[in-house]
Structure 1
Amino acid sequence: MARIRGYRRKTNYKGFFVVLFLVAIGALVYFASQSEIFEKKSPEIIIENTGNFWNPKTQTQIILKDSSAIKSYSILATLENGEKVLDIQEVVLDKPKELKLFLPVPQRKLPEGAKISYEISATDWSNSNFFSGNTTLKRLDFTIDTQAPKIEVIASSFSISYGGSALIIFKATEDNLKKLVVSNGVDEFVPFPYLKKDYYATLVAWPVKNKSFTPLIIAQDGANNQTRYQVAIVKKLKGYRDSTIRLQDKNFGKVDELAQMLVPDMRFESQSEKFRYINESIREKDEKAIFDASSHFEVNMITRPIIFERFYPLRGAQVVGSFGDSRHYYYKDKNISNSYHLGLDMASVANAPIIASNPGKIVLEQKLGIYGNTIVLYHGLGVSSLYSHISNFKKALGDDIREGEVIAESGSTGWAFGDHLHFGILVQGQFVRLAEWMDGKWIKNNITSVFQKGEKIILRNQK
Structure 2
Amino acid sequence: MSLEPLDKMEKPKNNVPLLFFGIMIVFLVCAFLFLVMIYEREQPRITMISDISRFGLSKDVSVEVNDNKSGIRSIEIVLFQDNKRAPVFQKVFPRQGYFTGVGPRQSIENFTVHTSSLGLREGVAELVVTVTDFSWWNWMAGNVVVDKFPIIVDTKPPKINLKDSPHYIKAGSAGLVIYKISEPVVKHGVLINDYFNPGFPLADKGDGVYGATIGLPFDLERLEKTYVMAVDEAGNESKAAFGMTLRVNRKVTDRIDISDGFLASKLPEFELYYPELTGAPLEQYLKVNNDIRQLNYKKVQEVCMKSLPDRLWEGRFNRMARSSRRAGFADYRSYFYQGKKIDQQVHLGVDLASVRHAKVEAANRGMVVFAEYLGIYGNTVILDHGQGVFSLYSHLGQIDVAINDRVEKGAVLGLTGNTGMAGGDHLHFSMLINGVFVNPVEWWDAQWLKINFLNYL
TM over 0.5: yes
Q: C-alpha offsets along residues 108-153 of structure 1, whole Å, 9 cap, x if unaligned?
A: 85443x2111222022445467633343423221122121011111
Q: Which of 308, 311, 316 does residue 309 from structure 1 map onto?
A: 316
Find the residue that maps to 1:19 and give its secondary structure: helix
Cα distance change, pair 115–351 in 1 and its aligned pair in 2 (3 A): same
Distance 1:215 1:378 in 2: 25
Find the residue that maps to 1:131 and give its secondary structure: coil
Distance 1:374 1:77 in 2: 55
Distance 1:63 1:241 in 2: 57
Cα distance change, pair 287–29 in 1 and its aligned pair in 2 (3 A): farther
Do the aligned residues in 2 keep the contact of 1:159 with 1:234 (CA within 8 Å)?
A: yes
Distance 1:85 1:73 in 2: 20
Equivalence for 1:15 = 18
Matched, 1:191 2:199: yes
Matched, 1:84 2:83: yes
Cα distance change, pair 160–267 in 1 and its aligned pair in 2 (3 A): closer
Q: Which of 218, 221, 238 does residue 229 from structure 2 map onto?
A: 218
- Structure 1 residue identity aligned to 2:281: Q
Q: C-alpha offsets along residues 304-324 of structure 1, whole Å, 9 cap, x if unaligned?
A: xx753154224351x222222
Distance 2:135 2:410 in 1: 75
Matched, 1:258 2:260: no
Equivalence for 1:410 = 416
| Distance apart, 1:371 and its partner CA | 1.6
Find the residue that maps to 2:376 and give its secondary structure: coil
Distance 2:110 2:360 in 1: 62
Do the aligned residues in 1 keep the contact of 2:58 with 2:115 (CA within 8 Å)?
A: no
User: What pairs up with 1:349-388 in 2 under 5 angstroms?
Assistant: 349-388=355-394
Cα distance change, pair 244–410 in 1 and its aligned pair in 2 (3 A): closer
Cα distance change, pair 276–47 in 1 and its aligned pair in 2 (3 A): farther
Find the residue that maps to 1:447 and give its secondary structure: helix
Cα distance change, pair 101–407 in 1 and its aligned pair in 2 (3 A): closer
Q: C-alpha offsets along residues 143-168 of structure 1, whole Å, 9 cap, x if unaligned?
A: 22121011111112222222221111
Do the aligned residues in 1 keep the contact of 2:55 with 2:115 (CA within 8 Å)?
A: no
Distance 1:102 1:376 in 2: 42
Give me the CA root mean square deviation: 4.1
Do the aligned residues in 1 keep the contact of 2:308 with 2:388 (CA within 8 Å)?
A: no
| Distance apart, 1:433 and its partner CA | 1.8
Equivalence for 1:173 = 182
Cα distance change, pair 42–328 in 1 and its aligned pair in 2 (3 A): farther
| Distance apart, 1:258 and its partner CA | 1.6
Do the aligned residues in 2 keep the contact of 1:258 with 1:415 (CA within 8 Å)?
A: no
Please say which of residues 423-432 and 394-403 is displaced more in the overlay: 394-403
User: What pairs up with 1:388-407 in 2 under 5 angstroms?
Assistant: 388-393=394-399, 400-404=406-410, 407=413
Do the aligned residues in 1 keep the contact of 2:86 with 2:118 (CA within 8 Å)?
A: no
Matched, 1:164 2:173: yes
Do the aligned residues in 1 keep the contact of 2:227 with 2:241 (CA within 8 Å)?
A: yes
Distance 2:320 2:226 in 1: 31
Find the residue that maps to 1:201 and give its secondary structure: strand
Q: Which of 229, 233, 242 does residue 231 from structure 1 map onto?
A: 242
| Distance apart, 1:422 and its partner CA | 0.6
Do the aligned residues in 2 keep the contact of 1:149 with 1:172 (CA within 8 Å)?
A: yes
| Distance apart, 1:336 and its partner CA | 6.7
Distance 1:335 1:24 in 2: 91
Distance 1:353 1:272 in 2: 33
| Distance apart, 1:416 and its partner CA | 1.1
Do the aligned residues in 1 keep the contact of 2:348 with 2:437 (CA within 8 Å)?
A: yes
| Distance apart, 1:28 and its partner CA | 6.3
Please say which of residues 360-369 and 91-100 is displaced more in the overlay: 91-100
Matched, 1:147 2:153: no
Q: C-alpha offsets along residues 258-278 of structure 1, whole Å, 9 cap, x if unaligned?
A: 234323x54513334422443
Cα distance change, pair 296–104 in 1 and its aligned pair in 2 (3 A): closer
- Structure 1 residue identity aligned to 2:19: F
Q: C-alpha offsets along residues 190-233 of structure 1, whole Å, 9 cap, x if unaligned?
A: 32211122111221111247665433322111211111222322
- Structure 2 residue identity aligned to 1:54: F
| Distance apart, 1:424 and its partner CA | 0.7
Equivalence for 2:428 = 422
Find the residue that maps to 2:455 and give its secondary structure: helix
User: What pairs up with 1:58-137 in 2 under 5 angstroms?
Assistant: 58=58, 60-61=60-61, 71-75=73-77, 77-79=79-81, 83-86=82-85, 92=92, 103=113, 110-112=120-122, 114-127=123-136, 131-137=140-146
Equivalence for 2:213 = 203
Distance 1:267 1:313 in 2: 34
- Structure 1: stretches of 5+ with no match in the other structure: 452-463
Equivalence for 1:455 = none
Distance 1:125 1:334 in 2: 77
Distance 2:305 2:237 in 1: 25
Distance 2:262 2:58 in 1: 61
Find the residue that maps to 1:197 and give its secondary structure: coil
Identity percentage of aligned residues? 26
Find the residue that maps to 1:219 and give its secondary structure: strand
| Distance apart, 1:71 and its partner CA | 4.1
Do the aligned residues in 1 keep the contact of 2:171 with 2:219 (CA within 8 Å)?
A: no
Cα distance change, pair 338–33 in 1 and its aligned pair in 2 (3 A): farther
Q: Which of 257, 266, 269 does residue 279 from structure 2 map onto?
A: 269
Equivalence for 1:51 = 52
Cα distance change, pair 119–445 in 1 and its aligned pair in 2 (3 A): same
Question: TM-score with structure 2 length normalisation?
Answer: 0.78
- Structure 2 residue identity aligned to 1:20: I
Do the aligned residues in 1 keep the contact of 2:220 with 2:248 (CA within 8 Å)?
A: no
- Structure 1 residue identity aligned to 2:53: N
Distance 2:164 2:339 in 1: 51
